[in-house]
Every structure is written in C-alpha cells, then in structure tokens.
Structure 1
Amino acid sequence: MSLALIFATIQSIATGYALWKGGMPERIVGVVQLSAWFASRNLDVPFVHRYYSVSSAIFLIDTLMLMICLVVALAANRRWTLMLVSLQVVMVLMHITRLVDASAIRLAYQVMINVWSYPQIALLMVGTALHQRRCKRNGSDPDWSNYSHRLMRALRVPGQTG
C-alpha cells in the first residue's frame, strides 16, 4: 500500500469522523484538510520533480489552508485549532524558506511540508473526540467564542449587508 493511499485513508476517516461527530470548527477543518490534500494530489507535478523547487500551486493551497484555519482558530471555542495553525505556519514558512534559499536541502523541504500533515490529522481527531466528550458531559459545546462575532464583522466585505 502506498503512502499516498495510507494518508488518503487516514484523512478520509478523520474528516468523516469530524463531519459525523464534530462541531462546526471540526467540520470546517476536516473539509479544508481533505480538499487541500485532493487539490495537491491532482496537480500535474510529477513526484520526482515535486521537491526540487517550490510549486506555486502547493504554496497557494497551503497558504489558503493557513488563512482559513486561522480564521477558524480565532473564532472557534477550541484550543486544538491554534496548535493546528502553528503546524500550518511551519509548512508555509518552509515554502518561503525554499523560495528564498534554493539551496535548502530538498529532503528537509519534502519532510517539512509532508510530515506536519499527520499531527494535523491527529489534532482533528482529538479535537472531535473532545467536542463529543464535552457534549456528553455538558449537554452542548459552543462552536464559537463570545468574541467571534467581532472577527466575522471585521472580515465582511465592505458594502455587504446582513
């Protein structure tokens, strides 16, 4: 079984679990992770050439994932999302490092942009399990912090109503 198939299976299970038992932050992160993986896998960059330079498409996907997860982390009533964002920051910074210094070791680049995905999946699963536990213990678990309405208001497009 290839590593890509193993990763796809683990990510699909984690996303399914988040969609089934998670709150809105877990669902959003699960869908974002699975979408980012799917988009990355369907690029026309052969594996043998993938880590010799920074793929602008992969960099864009990782940066978009960082921005979405950062908004979720700032608005969510969850701590695990902050750890997930910190791992994503490391991945984006590795792309930037490789752009700035092309002599950065190819293996280090490959490891840094791939390895952090596994702890992110684990965080999603743990976050979903903790959400489920809080729901059983308290009867509910608020998805968003008391201050998230301010963040959402700040993110609105000028001229947007509602």
Structure 2
Amino acid sequence: MRIALFLALLAIAVGYAAWKGGGPERVMAAIAVAMVGSDQILHIFVPMNFTTVDTGHLAIDLFGAGSTVALAMFAHRFWPMCIAVFHLVPLLAHMSRTFDMALHPAAYLTMQVATSWPVPAILILATWRHQHRLARGVSEPSWLNSLPRSIRTTAKP
C-alpha cells in the first residue's frame, strides 16, 4: 500500500513538473521517472534481497545521486541541493552494508528508501514556486550558465 501511495504522489509531482515546471523541475521529473522505471525493470529480473549489497539498487542510486548532484550544480535553484542530499543517503546504506554485513536488512532497506519520500513534495513545491515567480512577472534563469555575463565573471584584482 505504501508503495502505491508513493508512486501516486510521485506521478502527481512528475506530471505537475512536466506540465508547469521550468527546466530544472522537468529534469528532476525525468530523473525520477528513470529511477522508478529502472527499479521496476530491476524487480522483474532480480528479487529483492537486503541481506547482501544490492548491486542493482546501487547502480540506480549512483545514477540518482550523480544526476541530482549535477542538477544541483547547474540549476539556478536551491531545492536541487536538498534532493541531491536525499539521493546521497542511499549510497551510505550501500557502504554500510559493504563494511558491516551484520547490518539488519530492515535498516538497510530503510536507509535506501526513506529519503525518497520528501522528493515528490519538494518537486511539487519547487514547481509551484516557479509558477508563482512567473505569475509575479519575475524572470529568473533556469540554469547558472544562462546568467548575464557580468554576473558570471568575477572582478579581477
């Protein structure tokens, strides 16, 4: 039941971001779809096992962490940094499982999935804020490299 609830919340967030979001919100929606889609495909071929290092989910989490860190580095938004941190925590779960095989499987599972829950809410809020800025007539660039040259360059001493 909780998986269906999470997927429903994520579907709403992804749909709203794809429909009304700016560039960073749409990229995050694509990342989320890729991660969930990869997870569903993984479970077709590999049963869930939280007693050893889960290499399938490790690969998905590496993609999620890498892509959200890149998004945080290039987006002209604050919220991608929060989501990047949430995607780094599962990597700690995999490292913990690697170094401490006595880690309880429930703890390993919780470390992998618990930080996914805030992502839909943050994406919905980010998309709403983007729409709110547009409604106020505030023109804010989506990406850092789209800032005016005078802001991007630093003054030389």
TM-score (normalised: structure 2): 0.85
Does residue 114 of structure 2 align to residue 115 of structure 1? yes
The amino acid across from 1:65 in the alignment is G
Q: Percent identity?
A: 30
For 2:30, the equivalent position in structure 1 comes to 31
Stretches of structure 1 lacking an aligned partner (at least 5 in a row): 149-162
Q: CA deviation at 1:146?
A: 4.3
The one-letter code matched in structure 2 to 1:45 is V
* Correspondences of 1:59-138 after superposition (within 5 Å): 59-138=58-137
2:46 alignment counterpart:
45
One-letter amino acid of the counterpart of residue 6, structure 1:
L
Compute the displacement of 1:89 (Å).
1.0
Q: Which 5+ residue runs of structure 2 have no aligned equivalent?
A: 148-157
Equivalent residues, number: 145
User: Which residue of 1 is the match for residue 4 of structure 2?
Assistant: 5
**Over aligned residues, Cα RMSD in angstroms?**
1.6
Kept in 2, the 8 Å contact 1:75–1:147? The answer is no
Tell me the alpha carbon deviations over residues 96-148 of structure 1, each in whole angstroms, 9 at most, x when there is no partner.
Answer: 11112111121111111111101112111111111111111134331012488
- Following the alignment from structure 1 to structure 2, what is the Cα–Cα distance between the partners of residues 3 and 37? 15
Question: The residue matched to 2:117 in structure 1 has which SS?
Answer: helix
**Secondary structure in structure 1 of the residue aligned to 2:144:** coil
Amino acid at match of 1:108: A
1:3 CA displacement:
2.4
User: Which amino acid in 1 is paired with 2:100?
Assistant: D
Alpha-carbon separation, structure 1, partners of 2:37 and 2:52: 20
Matched residue SS, 1:39: helix
Q: What is the CA–CA distance in structure 2 between the aligned matches of 1:61 and 1:67, rounded to whole Å?
A: 10
Checking the alignment, whether the CA contact within 8 Å between 1:76 and 1:145 is kept in structure 2 is: yes
